[in-house]
Each structure stands twice: as C-alpha cells, then as structure tokens.
C-alpha cells in the first residue's frame, strides 16, 4: 500500500490553488482573553460549499481520467461531503449520486439535490453505509469517492492546514475535528513535516469517540450508533487508512461534550460574528474543555464547516443568529 507523506499534502495544495477558496484565518483579542491562548481560526466554514470537504473531493477527482469521469461518481455522506461531491462533479462535467442517512439535516439534503445529485437515502441504524455504497458501485459502475478513507482525499483535506501554516507560521498546537479522520490525518502529516515540534490534537464528541477509544486500545474499535449534535462526526469506526496516520502523527484525540460544542459555537458567534455548525466547532470545543493543554500557547483550530440552519443554531446557542458575513 502506498505511504502518504507531507509532500503529498503540499502537492495537493498546489493542485487545488485557484480551485478552492483560500479561506481566511480569523482572530479575536476577546477570544484570546477568554481562552488564555493565542487562537487562530482557519475559517473553512467560509469555503465554497460551506466546509473543507471540497478540498479532498477535488484533489481526488482532478486525478481522474476521461473514462472515470464518464462513469460518474458516488459517495456516502452525512451532508457536507455530498455537497462537495456534486459541486466538483458539476465543475468537471460529470454526475453524482450521494448515499445519505435518512435523518441527515433537511437543509443539507436539499442543497445536495438542488445542485443536481441523485440522493439515495438509508437508515443508519439498519444499514451499513459503506456496504450499500459498494453494492451500488458494482451495480452502476460509478467511481466511489470516499469521504475520508482515501489517500488523495486525505492529502486534499490537509491543504487547509498548509494555508493556515503559511499564513501564521509556526504554531504550538493544531486542533482538528475527527469524524472519518481524513482532515486530521492530512493535517498531521503536513504539520509534522513542516514543523516537527507542533502538537496536533484531534477533537471528537463523547457520543462518537471511536478514534479516541481506538487510540487507547491500540487498534480500531467500533462503537455503537454514535449520538451527538455534531452530525458530521457520527462515524462508528476509524478508517483503515486514516487511523494509522492519526496514530503516528497526532499527540492525542481529545473528547468533548455536546455542551462544550455549543459553548464553542457561541464563542465563534460572539467573538468573530460567524455561524458555524456543531461539527465545525468541535476543535474549538476541545480548547474550551481542556484549557490546561493550551493556556499560553499559539493554537491553530480548523473550523471545519458552517452548514447549519439558523433556526437550529438559535435553538442550540440561544439568541438570534447573526446574518452571514
């Protein structure tokens, strides 16, 4: 099996130049004072599709040949990956099918369908998503584009960290949400390559802590049906490709509660004026929940997505959500 390196992530960053938005790094003196650290927020919630996922999808699909594009693409997704897939498919002149949980947020499903994808719903309790995708690949000969567990996807997702480090220089710590682990793995590879002393932490909800448990066990450990408000991080098991990279390059995966996630969403709103989804706020939630690790340090945090309905944001955080900037 090919071994991915930081050089592959740097190559993906070059390939994606001009194809994805170079999102800003947000700072706030108020946020720094509250958390007792110098905080740099990589604003992937301002990406073209509202999350970092476009990076991995495009890096994978830009390496397709004509025959692969002619077949069309398919992926399982909780929402953001599907939206990235259909966006990339439209740009490259092909079609997309998205296998989506029946309980996925309605606004995410609507956005995927509006962009032109065919949505295949499934019951996440009764059906193994990956097995369903595999069966559809065999039946329809579409090319699968995994949400995380693919070397090109991992490299593309890590390009967000390349931009962050280019913009702010050496950091003491990086904190990355962990769902399937693609962006955490890509970030770990490139950060440790560019700055060997940086500590990279994952952040995972307590109700979906498969990677944290697996690190403690020394091997992948599946969990029962994940339960968390962070719908994009509800993965029942670590990836075959992502887990060994995470184990090799991350200092730890920190577990946070849904209460911590809501507190982080509120901090982003109050300190920088942006709306972020629960999954997107999980990295910041780790700094809220584990302050002693980060006090007095320069900390980069990936805000991984902002695709949340204003009504749900208001319900979780309290008070009216500000208009997007």
pLDDT tens, residue by residue, 33-51: 999 999 999 999 999 999 9
Both tokens of 155, joined, read 């490299």
Please determine whether the domains at 6-51+152-317 and 54-149 fall in the same fold group of CATH. Answer: yes
pLDDT tens, residue by residue, 134-170: 999 999 999 999 999 999 999 999 999 999 999 999 9
CB atoms closer than 10 angstroms to residue 324:
12
pLDDT at residue 126, rounded to an integer: 85
Taking the C-alpha atoms of 237, 226, 306 and 36 in order, what is their torsion angle to the nearest 10 degrees? -90
54-149 CATH: 3.40.50.1100
Q: Which CATH class is domain 6-51+152-317?
A: alpha beta
Both tokens of 172, joined, read 């003491």
pLDDT at residue 320, rounded to an integer: 54
**So where are the chain's domains?**
6-51+152-317, 54-149
pLDDT level of residue 228 (50, 70, 90 thresholds): very high
Q: How far is CA 90 from CA 61, 69, 205, in A?
A: 11, 11, 33
Q: What is the DSSP string of 237-256?
A: S--TTHHHHHHHH-SEEEEE
Q: CB of 277 within 8 A of CB of 306?
A: yes
Whether the CA torsion 271, 272, 277, 283 is positive or negative: it is negative
């Amino acid at each position: 099996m090919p071994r991915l390196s930081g050089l592959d992530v740097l190559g993906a960053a070059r390939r994606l130049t001009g194809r994805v938005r170079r999102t800003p790094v947000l700072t706030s003196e108020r946020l720094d004072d509250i958390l007792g650290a110098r905080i740099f927020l990589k604003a992937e919630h301002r990406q073209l599709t509202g999350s970092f996922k476009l990076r991995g999808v495009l890096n994978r699909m830009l390496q397709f040949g004509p025959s692969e594009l002619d077949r069309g693409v398919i992926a399982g997704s909780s929402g953001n990956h599907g939206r990235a897939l259909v966006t990339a498919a439209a740009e490259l002149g092909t079609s997309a099918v998205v296998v989506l949980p029946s309980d996925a947020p309605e606004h995410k499903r609507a956005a995927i369908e509006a962009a032109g994808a065919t949505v295949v719903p499934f019951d996440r309790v009764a059906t193994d998503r990956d097995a369903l995708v595999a069966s559809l690949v065999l039946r329809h000969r579409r090319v699968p584009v995994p949400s995380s567990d693919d070397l090109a996807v991992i490299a593309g997702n890590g390009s967000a960290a390349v931009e962050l480090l280019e913009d702010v220089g050496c950091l003491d710590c990086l904190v990355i949400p962990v769902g399937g682990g693609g962006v955490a793995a890509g970030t770990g590879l490139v950060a440790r390559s560019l700055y060997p002393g940086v500590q990279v932490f994952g952040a995972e909800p307590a109700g979906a802590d498969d990677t944290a448990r697996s690190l403690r066990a020394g091997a992948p450990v599946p969990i029962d049906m994940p339960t968390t408000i962070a719908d994009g991080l509800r993965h029942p098991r670590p990836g075959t490709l992502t887990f060994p990279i995470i184990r090799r390059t991350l200092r730890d995966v920190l577990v946070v509660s849904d209460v911590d996630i809501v507190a982080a969403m509120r901090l982003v709103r109050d300190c920088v004026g942006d709306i972020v989804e629960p999954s997107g706020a999980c990295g910041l939630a780790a700094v809220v929940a584990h302050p002693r690790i980060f006090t007095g340090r320069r900390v980069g945090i990936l805000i991984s997505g902002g695709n949340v309905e204003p009504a749900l944001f208001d319900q979780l955080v309290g008070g009216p959500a500000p208009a997007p900037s």
